[in-house]
Amino acid sequence: MDGNPLLGTWKLKSHLVTTAAGERLAPYGESPSGYLSYLADGRMHVIGAASRRVKPAGPTPTDDERLALYDTMFAYAGRYSIESDKVIHHVDISWNETWAGTEQTRCFLVSGNTLTLTTRITDRASGTESVYSVVWERIAAPP
């Protein structure tokens, strides 16, 4: 793997948020689904979705259905770089346009076939910090 422990494709196992008060939340449910790939050319892409998403009633979602679908997924792609125990996602395109052109920094830990990405986020309104911990399982290594 050329010294890059992130190379390959990873399947989403859990997405937990721990608040400053110690509350543990699973914003995407107990069994979210998704994939994350890190390529040797320095590009990455990720998509994730909540468990038990509601399927729209018809072929064209209503505004409420569209909002519910948007609120239960994430997706972005771009280049990535590694600095020690951090991976920086240089976002080119995103489901949330405010992320396009930004750098999303994650602490990472690889243990066997498990990748844990951790991010500390401070709520602008309250000033409180939460820790996001996203766990992935490697399903494909590079050739």
> β-strands 73-83, 43-49: how paired?
antiparallel
Q: Where are the domains of the chain?
A: 8-75+106-140
Bridge partners (DSSP) listed for residue 86: 83, 107
Q: Check residues 125 and 85 and name the one with the higher pLDDT.
A: 85
pLDDT digits (tens, 9 = 90+) for 33-55: 999 999 999 999 999 999 989 89
Tokens of 2: 């050329």
* Bridge-based pairing state of the strands 24-25 and 114-122: unpaired
Q: Is the pLDDT of residue 71 over 60?
A: yes
pTM over 0.75: yes
Mean pLDDT of the chain: 93
What's the pLDDT band for 78 if we cut at 50, 70, 90? very high
The count of other CB atoms within 10 Å of the CB of residue 118 is 16
Q: Read off the pLDDT of each residue in 5-29 and give the average, rounded to a whole number.
A: 94
